[in-house]
Homo-oligomer: A and B are copies of this chain.
Amino acid sequence: MKGKANFSGVIAPVLTPFGEDGAPDPDRFVEHAEWLMDEGCTALAPFGTTSEANSLSVDERIELLAELVDAGLDPAKLMPGTGMCSVIDAVDLTEHAVDAGCGGVLMLPPFYYKNPSEEGLFRFFAEVIDEVGDDRLRVYLYHIPPVSQVGFSLDLIGRLTKEFPGIVVGLKDSSGDWNNMKAILETYPDFELFPGSELYLLDGLRHGSCGTISATANVAARALRKLYDNWQGSGADKMQDGISALRKSVQEYPVIPLLKALIAHYRDDPGWADMRPPFVPMPEAEANAAIRTLADRHDFRLAVAAA
C-alpha cells in the first residue's frame, strides 16, 4: 500500500438510478453517493461499468457529475469514468471532470475497434492528455478485457507512465487475473493499482495495491472498509473469507441487475431496480429469491438497511 497515492481504499462505481421517464434521477443518485461515503467508501468512481455509464450520453454524465459536486461531495474524492470510443467525447468528459476538481478520471480505452495497435492506443491517451492540457489531470487506466475486449499491456502501461509521469498514475484491473495484477505491481511499483474486485483486496494490499474499486461496494462498503482499515491485523484473512464468500454469491447472479434489485428492496423503492437497455431488471421472483439467499448466507441485510 502506497502512502502517497492520490486515491486509496474502497471505491464504489456508483449505480445510476433512473426515473419513470427513463432519465437518470439526480436526487436518488446523489442520495446513493452520499450514503456510500457514509458507509465507508473512501472515494467514488461514478460512470463505471456498474453505473451503466456506457448506456448514458455524454451530456447525461456531465450533468450527473455536476449534481454530485453541487451537492457538496468532495470532488477530490471523485474518479469519474471518462473513457469513450471517440477521443472527442473522452476529451469533453475529461475536461469537465478536471474543471470540476475531480481527483482523477478512470478511462476505458476506445473499445469498438478490436485489436488496436499499442501505438494507436498510446495516441488516443496522448491526445486526451494533450487536449485537456491541465496538470491537475490524473488518469487511471481502466483494464476490463472481459467487457471492453481491448485492454492495456504491460508495455503500454510503461510507455504511458514514462511519457506522462504524474498524469497517468494508476489502473483499475478488472481482468480477474491475479497474475496480471501481480505483474503490474512488480513491474511498476509506484503505480496505483486497484483490483476491480474485492476478491483480491487483501492479496492486493499485501503486494502493494491501493485498495479496490468494486461493484459490490455499492451494497457492502462497510465490510470492505473494515478489512481495508485492518488488513495488517490478525483477523484480516477471516474478514477476506467473508467478503469473498459474499462476492462469489453475488456473482451467481447478473451482477448489475442484482445490485439494483438489492438497493430497491432494502430502500423499499422499486424504481431503483430500473435499468436502461440492453440491461433489463431481474424478474421480481428471481430478485426476491436472490435477496433471500444473500440474507440467509451472509447476514447481508444490515449493511443495506442502514440507508
Contacts and interface: CB of A to CB of B under 8 A. Distances in A.
A276 interface: yes
Interface in A97-119: 109-114, 116-117, 119
Contact of A60 (B88, B109, B148, B150): B88
Interface string A47-67: 001000011111010000000
A54 B87 CA distance: 10
A147 B86 CA distance: 16
Interface in A251-296: 276-280
Contacts of A123: 277-278, 280
A1 B32 CA distance: 55
A56 to B, nearest CB: 6
Interface residues of A, number: 38
A56 B121 contact: no
Interface in A1-53: 22, 49
A149 interface: yes
Contacts of A88: 56-57, 60
Contacts of A54: 85-86, 110, 112-113
Copies in the complex: 2
Contacts of A300: none
B279 A55 contact: no
Contact of A279 (B86, B116, B277): B116
Interface string A137-154: 000000000111110000
A148 B112 contact: yes
A175 B24 CA distance: 35
Choose among A112, A124, A127 the residue with the greatest number of B CB atoms under 10 Å from its CB: A112
B86 A127 contact: no
A55 B87 contact: yes
Contact of A278 (B58, B92, B113, B277): B113
Interface of A: 22, 49, 54-58, 60, 85-89, 92, 109-114, 116-117, 119-121, 123-124, 127, 146-150, 276-280
24 contacts: A54-B86, A55-B87, A55-B110, A56-B86, A57-B86, A60-B86, A87-B276, A87-B277, A110-B277, A112-B147, A113-B279, A114-B146, A114-B149, A116-B277, A116-B278, A120-B279, A120-B280, A121-B277, A121-B278, A123-B277, A123-B278, A123-B280, A124-B277, A124-B278
Given A57-B88, A111-B112, A124-B278, 9 more contacts: A49-B112, A54-B112, A55-B113, A56-B86, A116-B279, A120-B277, A123-B278, A127-B277, A150-B278
